[in-house]
Amino acid sequence: MSRVCTVCAHAERHAIEKLIVGGTPNRRIATHHGLSEAAVRRHAAEHLPVALVKAQEAEDSAHALDVVKQLRHINAAALTVPRDAKAAGDGELMLKAIDRVHKQVELQAKLLGDLDDRPVVNVLVTPEWQQVRAQILAALDPYPEARFAVAGALQC
């Protein structure tokens, strides 16, 4: 039985999608826009990438480009956190920051991968990811155990 997605049907759908991509917690988006947390989560996982591809196909690429721009902006901001945490010697903050960057890169890879016409997109060989990975591992130098765990998770 199919149900209508309350986010897809929402008058402020584009604003909601920007919040999702910007990393605003689903619960907060749901509360602000009168939605259920599950609806926001489902929309982000199942409908958002499709919506971006459709927008591009319909040459309504302004919205898709807007979302990608937002994503890049957030990435740049997220990358400064591990550097700051390293300077402050705050290992716990750094691990949280790295986790955030990792999620962000995954999200970007998923969205940009869906937008890309090429049949195979291997995010692991992109210069952007190489740079992020190098920065993460360099930042973890003072924490050998964490570095080992992260290196394993990143398969490098």
# binding residues, Zn ion (CB under 5 A): 5
Identified binder of Zn ion from the candidate list 43, 63, 86, 133, rule CB under 5 A: 43
Nearest approach, Cβ of residue 30 and Zn ion (Å): 13
Nearest approach, Cβ of residue 10 and Zn ion (Å): 8
Closest C-alpha to 7, from 32, 57, 55: 32
5 binds Zn ion (CB under 5 A): yes
47 binds Zn ion (CB under 5 A): yes
User: Between 31 and 80, whose beta carbon lies closer to Zn ion?
Assistant: 31
Contacts of 78 (CB under 8 A, 6+ apart): 97, 100, 101, 104
Nearest approach, Cβ of residue 102 and Zn ion (Å): 25
DSSP states of 41-91 as a string?
HHIIIIIHHHHHHHHHHTT-HHHHHHHHHHHHHHHHHHHHHHHHHHHHT-H
Q: Note the residues at the interface with Zn ion (CB under 5 A).
A: 5, 7-8, 43, 47
